[in-house]
Amino acid sequence: MSETVNVLVGVVMGLNLLALASSRLPLLIRTVSWQGVLLGVMPLLLEGAHADWRLVGMAAATVLGKGVLIPALLRRAMRAARIDREVEPLLGYVPSLLLGAAGTVAAVALGRGLPLLPEHARSLLVPGALASVLTGFVLLTGRVKAISQVCGYLILENGIYLFGLLLLGSTPLLVESGILLDVTVSVFVIGIIVDRIQRAFDSMDTRKLTILRE
* Residue 99 near another protein by CB under 8 A: no
Identify the three-state secondary structure at position 22.
coil
Size of the chain, expressed as the number of residues it contains:
214
* Distant-in-sequence, close-in-space partners of 55: CB < 8 Å, separation ≥ 6: 43, 44, 47, 173
Residue 136 to residue 129: CA distance in whole angstroms? 11
Name the phi and psi angles at 41, rounded to 5.
-75, -25
Using CB under 8 A, which of 27, 51, 93, 173 touches another protein? 93
Q: In 10 A of CB 25, how many CB atoms?
A: 22
Q: Which is nearer to another protein, 91 or 108 (CB)?
A: 108
* Residue 21 near another protein by CB under 8 A: yes
β-bridge mates for residue 89, sequence order: 143
* Residue 101 near another protein by CB under 8 A: yes
Q: Which is nearer to another protein, 93 or 188 (CB)?
A: 93
- Shortest Cβ 176–another protein spacing (Å): 29
* Residue 90 near another protein by CB under 8 A: no
Identify the three-state secondary structure at position 129.
helix
- Shortest Cβ 103–another protein spacing (Å): 12
Interacting residues with another protein between 121 and 160 (CB under 8 A): 122
Residue 60 to residue 44: CA distance in whole angstroms? 10
Using CB under 8 A, which of 94, 114, 181, 209 touches another protein? 94
Q: Taking CA 130 as the corner, what is the angle to CA 102 and CA 67, rounded to the nearest 5 degrees? A: 105
* Residue 98 near another protein by CB under 8 A: yes
* Residue 97 near another protein by CB under 8 A: yes
Number of residues counted as binding another protein (CB under 8 A): 11
- Shortest Cβ 134–another protein spacing (Å): 15
Which residues of this chain interact with another protein, rule CB under 8 A? Answer: 17, 21, 93-94, 97-98, 101, 104-105, 108, 122
